[in-house]
Amino acid sequence: MRILVVEDEPLLADAVAEWLRGDAHAVDVVNDGGAALERIGVHGYDVVVLDRDLPVVHGDDVCRAVTECGSAARVLMLTAAAEIDDRVAGLSLGADDYLPKPFAFPELAARVVALGRRSRPALPPVLERAGIRLDPHRREVHRDGRYVPLSRKEFAVLAELLRADGAAVSAEHLLEKAWDEYADPFTGAVRIAILKLRRKLGDPPVVVTEPGVGYRIP
């Protein structure tokens, strides 16, 4: 998934981002509400992890803007205030979930995944096609029963191809979902990831190139 972490404590923001990247998500980080609104206006995020007490633009206003602009992004609001009234106020602004600080990283990651499922059409927990079996929770891939070790990016690319259910997926979409905002679209990162995927998945080749369109798994 593509995730935006909005947190004004840089060390905490970076720690959250690194934990989520460990689950093969593409994560961008900003430290104030104004920067968050700029990123949300440019990128199609699946989930926004949003601190409520932000400088420049308050987290409440960021949450309200996400809701009012019709974004498909789900909002997980973070706050040091754990009172019920505070949680109710955050949810009433349009937040999809609420997590008080301090929190455990595994719980935050689980909540992010749950919100990500809600931002997409319902899919089986394990993705299977053309002899490939991808388990998002165990982070395992098998082809015809053979375990296939993949890097985080390769895993994320393969997951997007399987989610497409046979339709072609553009390189732009793969770059959007599997890499963060610092990825250079002219580096050929997607093409290289596809080449590595094909090699690791083995014969017969399963990832097809649709010239001018993208890639698909028939």
Contacting residues for 189 by C-beta, under 8 A, at least 6 apart: 153, 175, 179, 183
Looking at residues 166-184, what average pLDDT do you find?
Answer: 81
pLDDT at 43 over 80: yes
Q: Rounded to whole angstroms, how far apart are CA atoms 84 and 155?
A: 39
Q: Which pLDDT band, with edges at 50, 70 and 90, does 16 fall under?
A: very high
| Percentage of the residues of the chain whose pLDDT score is greater than 70 | 88
* Greatest CA separation for the chain: 58
| Percentage of the residues of the chain whose pLDDT score is greater than 90 | 47
- Residue-wise pLDDT for 105-162, tens only, equals 999 999 998 888 776 655 557 899 999 999 987 789 999 989 999 988 899 999 999 9
Q: Is the pTM of this model over 0.75?
A: no
> Length of the chain, please?
218
Q: What is the pLDDT of residue 89?
A: 65
- Residue-wise pLDDT for 48-69, tens only, equals 999 988 999 998 899 988 888 7
160-170 residues labelled b (16+ CB within 10 A) or e (exposed): bbbbbeeebbe
